[in-house]
Amino acid sequence: MSTPHWPQASNVELEDWGAGSNTLAGAPRASGKILSQNPDGSSECGLWSCTPGTRKVTFAADEFCHFLSGHGSYVHDNGEEIPVEAGTLVFFPAGWTGISIITQTLTKAFMCR
């Protein structure tokens, strides 16, 4: 079995994942690519990108994110604001809810479990 990897993440062609039904403002559209996924669906990792807009978000599973480009913020339902840009690392625990405000297309590497 070979080890899943992308030698150059910036060259990975992302697939259109659509607009989603959780849009609050603008017209955010997501795209991404899964690098690896456990057969039982218990974890996955890959790349995700989304164009500007505001969305309601709920993380169903623990998710670790390393933002690679763009600008925005996540605002928890309790008011905590987390600004994100290239280089930001965030761990969203399962059940985290709030809004995502993307001002410049965001791209992140992620791991969910």
Residue 7 lies in a domain: no
Q: How far is CA 34 from CA 40, 73, 104, 106, in A?
A: 15, 23, 22, 17
Assigned domain for 60 exists: yes
Q: Which residues constitute the domain of residue 50?
A: 19-110
In the structure, what pLDDT confidence band is assigned to residue 18 with cuts at 50, 70 and 90? very high
pLDDT value of position 1:
72
> Alpha-carbon distance 36 to 38, whole Å?
7
Taking the C-alpha atoms of residue 21 and residue 58, their distance in angstroms, rounded to an integer, is 13
Whether 63 maps to a domain, the answer reads yes
Note whether residue 29 is domain-resident: yes
In the chain, what percentage of residues exceed pLDDT 70?
100
- In the chain, at which residue ranges do the beta strands (DSSP E only) sit? 15-18, 23-26, 30-37, 44-50, 53-58, 63-76, 81-85, 89-92, 97-112
pLDDT band with cut points at 50, 70 and 90 for residue 20 = confident
Q: What are the pLDDT digits (tens) for 89-108?
A: 999 999 999 999 999 999 99
Residues 9, 113: Cα–Cα separation, whole Å = 21
According to the model, what pLDDT value does residue 15 have?
97
Q: Domain with 79 in it: what CATH number?
A: 2.60.120.10
pTM of the model: 0.94
**What is the total count of domains within the chain?**
1
Instruction: Indicate the pLDDT class of residue 21, thresholds 50, 70 and 90.
Output: confident
